[in-house]
Amino acid sequence: MYYISEVEGVVRVSPELFKEELSTAIFKQLKNDFENRVDEIIGRIISVLEIKKISEGILVPGDGAAYYRTTFTTLHFIPEIHETIEGEIKDIAKFGAFIDFGPFEGMVHISQTMDDFVSVTKQGTLQGKDRKKVLKVGDKVRAKIVAVSLKDSNEPKIGLTMRQPYLGKMDWIEDQRKEDEKALKAAARAAAKE
């Protein structure tokens, strides 16, 4: 889920930024230090939006840079358990598919792709044995987050499932919606005859 939050941090402004106005130099450094960073608590920082407060700077002997405690707002994304996401299949492996959904990439295990026995074809797609449904790179899909680990900021892990109603490839979801609509109309006609 996307959030806008106020964050406090210490910013190191290097000497080459001293020629800039202080707020401009700190804003540049905040963007460089924090944007696209993954934090275990606040997820991925998409953008630094605004500086709220800059405390008096501190010089560290031998460093040459100035340090400022700064309060600023960020737009960030925290992947949450049971959250529904939409994305695109970026890669298929023997064990499942990788889905890019914007701020993160998640993995859906082969057993969680569809309600069918699934295998990897020679063409590098995932195919269901009975229903013959196919998933391939580039397919648009809807999935639900079932596991999140942001402990390793370099390799966040997000587990996904597509084995619930109205999840999976977008074409499958539309087909399911049409089937449900037909069933509702048939039930309404049957009820009207009684």
Which domain covers residue 110, as residue numbers? 84-185
As a whole number of angstroms, the distance between CA 146 and CA 131 comes to 25
Residues 112 and 163 in one domain: yes
As a whole number of angstroms, the distance between CA 158 and CA 57 comes to 39
Tell me if residue 112 falls in helix, strand or coil: helix
107 occurs within a structural domain: yes
Residues 173 and 90 in one domain: yes
Q: Which of the four pLDDT bands, split at 50, 70 and 90, describes residue 122? A: confident
Residues 92 and 170 in one domain: yes
77, 93, 117 - which closes a domain: 77
Q: In CATH, what number is assigned to the domain containing residue 47?
A: 3.30.1490.120
153-163 per-position pLDDT tens digit: 888 999 999 99
**Could you tell me which of 34, 9, 26, 3 has the C-alpha nearest to residue 153?**
34
Give me the pLDDT at residue 79, please. Answer: 95
77, 109, 128 - which closes a domain: 77
Q: Which of the four pLDDT bands, split at 50, 70 and 90, describes residue 135? A: very high
As a whole number of angstroms, the distance between CA 16 and CA 58 comes to 16
- Number of domains comprising the chain: 2
Q: What are phi and psi of 87, to 5 degrees?
A: -160, -165
As a whole number of angstroms, the distance between CA 49 and CA 159 comes to 29
Q: Which of the four pLDDT bands, split at 50, 70 and 90, describes residue 90? A: very high
End-to-end Cα spacing for the chain: 46
Residues 45 and 113 in one domain: no
| Paired residues of 160 in beta bridges | 108, 145
What's the residue count for the chain?
194
Tell me if residue 19 falls in helix, strand or coil: coil
131 occurs within a structural domain: yes
Q: How far is CA 113 from CA 5, 76, 125, 140, in A?
A: 34, 28, 12, 13
Give me the pLDDT at residue 156, please. Answer: 92
Percentage, residues of the chain above pLDDT 90 = 74
193 occurs within a structural domain: no
pTM: 0.81
Residues 34 and 56 in one domain: yes
Please provide the average confidence, as pLDDT, over all residues in the chain. 92
Query: How many Å separate Cα 103 from the centre of its chain?
Result: 4
* pLDDT (average), residues 95-122: 92
Residues 123 and 62 in one domain: no
8-51 per-position pLDDT tens digit: 999 999 888 889 999 999 999 999 999 999 988 899 999 999 99
192 occurs within a structural domain: no
As a whole number of angstroms, the distance between CA 88 and CA 167 comes to 13
77, 99, 130 - which closes a domain: 77
As a whole number of angstroms, the distance between CA 65 and CA 60 comes to 7
